[in-house]
């Protein structure tokens, strides 16, 4: 079952991931559901992506949300961002 997330969050997150991948000359086309480690992003790249996501969406990701499951793919990151943003406005 796929959870729908606003395209803008997923698209902006995809742009961040592509920018990080481009630093290593990784230019594969990947889908929002693809595992980021399978497309060539390292654990350090995922940390950089986490920092970029926090800056892009002006959020602070709580430690409990910093899990491999939440950073598996663009879709999981976008869902986590929406969850964090929703919690901040609750």
**Residue 11 DSSP one-character state:** H
Domain-embedded: residue 47 = yes
SS3 80: helix
Which residue carries 């800056």 as its tokens? 55
Domain-embedded: residue 2 = no
Domain that holds residue 24: 7-88
**pLDDT digits over 37-80, tens only?**
998 899 999 999 999 999 999 999 999 999 999 999 999 999 99
Q: What is the CATH number of the domain that holds 49?
A: 1.10.1200.10
Domain-embedded: residue 1 = no
Domain-embedded: residue 82 = yes
Q: What is the mean pLDDT of the chain?
A: 88
What is the pLDDT at residue 12? 94
What is the pLDDT at residue 29? 81
What's the number of domains the chain is made of? 1
Domain-embedded: residue 74 = yes
What is the pLDDT at residue 1? 40
Domain-embedded: residue 52 = yes
> What CA–CA distance (Å, rounded) separates 40 from 61?
23
What is the pLDDT at residue 3? 57
Which residue carries 């060539």 as its tokens? 40
């Amino acid at each position: 079952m796929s959870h729908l997330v606003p395209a803008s969050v997923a698209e902006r997150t995809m742009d961040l991931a592509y920018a990080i991948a481009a630093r290593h000359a990784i230019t594969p086309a990947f889908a929002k559901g693809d595992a980021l480690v399978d497309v060539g992003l390292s654990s350090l790249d995922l940390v950089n992506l986490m920092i970029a996501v926090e800056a892009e969406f002006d959020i602070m990701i709580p430690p409990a949300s910093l899990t491999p499951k939440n950073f598996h793919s663009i879709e999981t990151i976008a869902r986590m961002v929406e969850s964090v943003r929703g919690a901040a406005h609750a």
